[in-house]
Copies of this chain bind each other. A is one copy, B any other.
C-alpha cells in the first residue's frame, strides 16, 4: 500500500476541488491509502473512504517561513507531521509554497549529505521528452556546491521519472561558452567539469532550454523561478494575442472554428495543469507542491505525481546515490 498525506486546504479554489480529486483518484488507483488533513465539515464527502484528520486552522497563501512555528495546528503542518510520525510515504499540498517548502525541510529533514533541497518540474519541449529543470524556486540564493548537488538529483529524476538512460545535463547560463555566467555558475561549471560529471554537456542559454536537447537543466532557485514564471507569462501573452487575432473579422473567426482542435492540443501540451505540480527533491519523503490555482484535474495530477514518485522509490534512489558517493571517496 502506498500511503499519502493530503493537505485539503490552502488551494485558491477551496477544499471542494481536493475532495473531488481524492474521490476520483481512489476510483482509479487501488493500492493507495490517503490521509486527508483539513476542516472536518469541508470533508464530509470523504467520510468512510479515507482517514480524515480534523485541522481547524489553515495556512494562508501569503504565509511564509516565519509563520510555520506559529501555525502548528494548520492542515499543512499536520499533514507534514503526519507523513513523518505515521510513516506515510509522501505529502501533497496546494497551499503557500514558501511555508510548505520550509516546513517540509524542517520536519522531514534533508537527506544525509545534501546542503539544500530543490524544487523541480518537467517542462514541455519541442522534442519528444520533457526537460527537468531545478531549482525553480526553493532557494533565494545558491552556491556552486548546491548546483552540483542539484545536477546529481536532477539526473536521477530524469532517469527514474522520464526513463532517460543517459541524461544530458546542462547549466543555465547567459552563454554556451565555459567562461560565460554568473560567478556561481562559472564555479559550478568548473566543479562539474573537473569531476568528470557523467552526462554534463556544459552551459545552455535560456533560449534553448525548451528545444529538446537538454534532459536536465540546473540553475539557482532565483533564476529558475524567473525562467519558470517568465515562460508562463510569455505563453499566456502569445495565446492571448492569438485569441485577439482570431477575433479580428468573420474570416479569422471561421478559421478558428476549423483550427480549434489543433489549437486545443497545443494548449494542452503547454498547460501546467497536466503536470500537477512541482516536487521538492532532497528531503526524506516525497513532497509535491500542487499549484495554488489548482482545479480538481490539476490536484488529481499532483496526487498522481506523488504516487508515481513513491512507487518509483525516488527518495531512496537519491539516498543511495549520495551514499555511494561518500563511500567511494
Contact = CB atoms under 8 A, between A and B. Distances in A.
Interface of A: 62, 64, 98, 124-126, 137, 140-141, 172, 174-175, 177, 179-183, 185, 205-211, 219, 221-223, 225-242, 244-248, 251-252, 254-263, 265-266, 269-270
A237 B210 contact: yes
A211 B162 CA distance: 33
A259 B241 contact: no
B232 A207 contact: yes
Contact of A140 (B181, B225, B234, B254): B181
Contact of A245 (B234, B240, B259): B259
A265 B238 contact: no
A226 B237 contact: no
Contact of A222 (B182, B259, B260): B182
A126 B226 contact: no
A291 to B, nearest CB: 12
Contacts of A172: 226
B206 A229 contact: yes
Given A126-B241, A242-B266, A252-B258, 9 more contacts: A62-B177, A140-B183, A174-B221, A206-B232, A210-B234, A210-B237, A223-B223, A254-B258, A255-B258
A47 B211 CA distance: 43
A251 B265 CA distance: 14
A207 B233 contact: yes
Nearest to A237: B210
Q: Which of A98, A205, A236, A266 has the most CB of B within 10 A?
A: A266
Contact of A265 (B180, B185, B234, B248): B248
A292 to B, nearest CB: 12
